[in-house]
Chains A and B, each alone.
Chain A
């Protein structure tokens, strides 16, 4: 399943945003151009983006500062930096602040497109829980924070393909309506050994055994309901960044 991403391209050089937009459009993505960091911040606050690609050197506010401000608001938003200057202090700062990666100019467009393809394929955080309300609230929060979310509230064991397609990670309730989360986890592990799965449960004591079993088959972590949202966001951000960087490096 390859759906296009909505990408915000930021560069004070309009020719750059223009050519990139055209290329990305032809490659099946949706592009919004911004010619300054301020412009970009404004656009990012009014519509959701799947990714931001920004030049570093811009007048008034540079790309690294833009990255920092974007991630402050939406830690789940993948940001890529572009630069014509190798080995810059700013560059390190940007990466430390949580930018997904750096592309040097002139851009290796194939690499860039490859990354976007990976991102479009593995961008979603899938919430598997039989409580629709829980799913919806978490969905809203995460989307607001820049993540892409899909929810499955009536999981079927046979739907494992549906669960995992486009997922970069899965939030899995251990106790589903008539299913064992552990069984689903086992299924996922069988097909995608590396896909991060976080287990969630409200029954710390009752499910202790299952949790232990899940962790043994590489569940990423176990979170207990009621979820501590900041901690969850932090964890998701960290996992996503690892994913993104992994994607960049395998290109």
Chain B
């Protein structure tokens, strides 16, 4: 009886001790949310505790059978939960159905052997083998999935389960080997051990659980720290941790040393202002203000001095972080000097490109304008040609009509005769305009031949007689080669230039016609001392339809230039307003003399 009381007390003490363990595991479960499996352990421990409570019930005859079944069921499922907890702790998943099936078989066997056959042997074998199997499974899982971070505590736990398994295996074997199956509450060694071992193992594995969790937590912290340091140090960007309130540097990485030039020894403990890295001290203020306001700062661009005084462009990204409760700033500085330079270059380049494009576009516009101008001239020429020809017919009729009137009234009075003259003059002027237009619209075929320059001059002066008020001075160098031109066309050109010169000197003056050899060409200079040409008119001189004369359509020089160029020559002009003009007519010389 003493023994029974003793065992009962033991069971009670076990329950109590296990309850405490459950509480401990519960606390651990609540605190340590990041690790899985802890809840299962707590449940396992709770069931185990319940098992001891059931054991206690067995000392009361009325509750004995319920106690036995409850104890068995609690122990088996408690150990299953521990097993699941271990698997989950290592990130594994249990195979649910075999475990459930296992539990049901063991519990059903326990119920059968208790209520139906009341076979104590089967009952004891059943529970011992089940617990041994589960202990070995758990130990195996610990050995198998033991991660490298928690070897010591994992081995410890594995050994605890192994021993536990071993104990139950021996118990099962002992029964089979014929060891007496005593009343449960006898104080024989076996009975005693069946209390002490669960108590010991239960305590040990709770201890083991706590250790393994702590060990793993430590591992993870160390790992995280290492990882952080690794990232911190291997980052190609410069990283610094500073105190928020005074900017004192707490740590810098190699990237920082590489970029800014300061070693950790030089930098740590000093503020960035002490190190004089800010080109604009205000930048730090703006940067910190933004950081405080938002808690972070992204790609804030500013210029910095390196240790050697050279300038770099940095892009700052930062966020606040609490280290030991003090707000710090972790700053990442990316060197954007190159990219900024590249950007600048790109900008310059694109500007230059734009400029170039603009220039090209301008050239194109000019060319196009010229083209349009040419086109306009061509159209005008065509139009003028067509219109000119068409005008010649009615002009011819007018001409014939006047002729008829003169013929019909040979003795008409003077007024009528004067009007005949006026009409005839107007017809001649019209015809001249049409001829100019047609000359401009279409160059007749050029019929070039070697001609002495003097012949061109003589013929021209003959066709365009000199007004009395003009004094002409013709000077022709001796021994000149012949020119190679279409004589009638060049007579027209030279005549044009000479008539222009006459008209530039309405009150008389001096006209010089100087001919000499220059650069394998004959140069004829038609020089007047008339009114000269203003600079703005100079530009438009050869433009068609440009004229300063009250009468005339402004094709004379345009036609002259066209004809001269068609003859392989060119016209150049020099003029000074008020002092006269010089037109240089360059003409090709005959090949025979070249």
Contacts and interface: CB of A to CB of B under 8 A. Distances in A.
A119 to B, nearest CB: 19
B390 A26 contact: no
A26 B392 CA distance: 24
Contacts of A86: 438, 444
A81 B3 CA distance: 162
Contacts of B403: 19, 23, 109
B397 interface: yes
Contact of B393 (A20, A22, A23, A105): A105
Interface secondary structure of B, over-half rule: helix
A105 B404 contact: no
Contact of B408 (A13, A15, A26, A106): A26
B401 A19 contact: yes
Interface residues of A, number: 19
Contacts of B394: 15
Contacts of A105: 392-393, 395-396
A213 to B, nearest CB: 43
A84 B444 contact: no
Nearest to A20: B400
B478 interface: no
The residue among A27, A86, A87, A104 with the most chain B CB atoms within 10 A of its own CB is A86
Nearest to A15: B397
Nearest to A110: B403
B438 A16 contact: no
Given A13-B397, A19-B397, A84-B393, A106 B431 contact: yes
B399 A23 contact: no
Interface in B56-105: none
A109 B400 contact: yes
A140 B404 CA distance: 37
Contacts of B401: 19
A20 B395 CA distance: 13
Contact of A23 (B398, B400, B444): B400
Contacts of B444: 86-87
A106 B444 CA distance: 20
Contact of B427 (A19, A104, A106): A106
B438 A106 contact: no
| Interface size class, chain B | 20 to 34
Nearest to A11: B393
Nearest to B427: A106
Interface string A65-86: 0000000000000000010111
A164 B444 CA distance: 44
Nearest to A86: B438
A27 B407 CA distance: 8
A87 to B, nearest CB: 5
Given A22-B404, A23-B404, A27-B407, A109 B399 contact: yes
B448 interface: no
A107 B407 contact: no
Interface string B432-470: 000000100000110000000000000000000000000
Contacts of B404: 19, 22-23, 26
Interface string B373-402: 000000000000000011011111111110
A36 to B, nearest CB: 15
Contacts of B407: 23, 26-27
B536 to A, nearest CB: 36
Interface string A157-199: 0000000000000000000000000000000000000000000
B398 A106 contact: yes
The residue among B394, B397, B427 with the most chain A CB atoms within 10 A of its own CB is B397
Contacts of A106: 392, 395-396, 398-400, 427, 431
The residue among B393, B399, B401, B408 with the most chain A CB atoms within 10 A of its own CB is B393
A17 to B, nearest CB: 10
A86 B434 CA distance: 11
B400 A84 contact: no
A23 B399 CA distance: 11
Contacts of A19: 397, 400-401, 403-404
The residue among A19, A85, A104, A106 with the most chain B CB atoms within 10 A of its own CB is A106
A16 B389 contact: no
Interface in A1-44: 13, 15-16, 19-20, 22-23, 26-27
A117 to B, nearest CB: 14
A182 to B, nearest CB: 46
A107 B396 contact: yes
The residue among A22, A27, A82 with the most chain B CB atoms within 10 A of its own CB is A22
A106 B427 CA distance: 8
A7 to B, nearest CB: 14
Interface string A82-110: 10111100000000000000001111010
B389 to A, nearest CB: 5
Contacts of A27: 407
Given A20-B400, A109-B400, A13 B393 contact: yes
- Lowest 7 CB-CB distances: which A-B pairs, in order? A84-B392, A19-B400, A105-B396, A106-B396, A106-B399, A105-B392, A15-B397
17 contacts: A15-B394, A19-B397, A19-B400, A19-B404, A22-B408, A23-B404, A23-B407, A26-B404, A82-B396, A84-B392, A84-B393, A84-B396, A85-B392, A86-B438, A105-B396, A107-B399, A109-B403
Given A86-B438, A105-B393, 18 more contacts: A13-B393, A15-B394, A19-B397, A19-B400, A19-B403, A19-B404, A22-B408, A23-B404, A27-B407, A84-B389, A84-B392, A84-B393, A85-B389, A85-B392, A87-B444, A87-B445, A106-B400, A107-B399
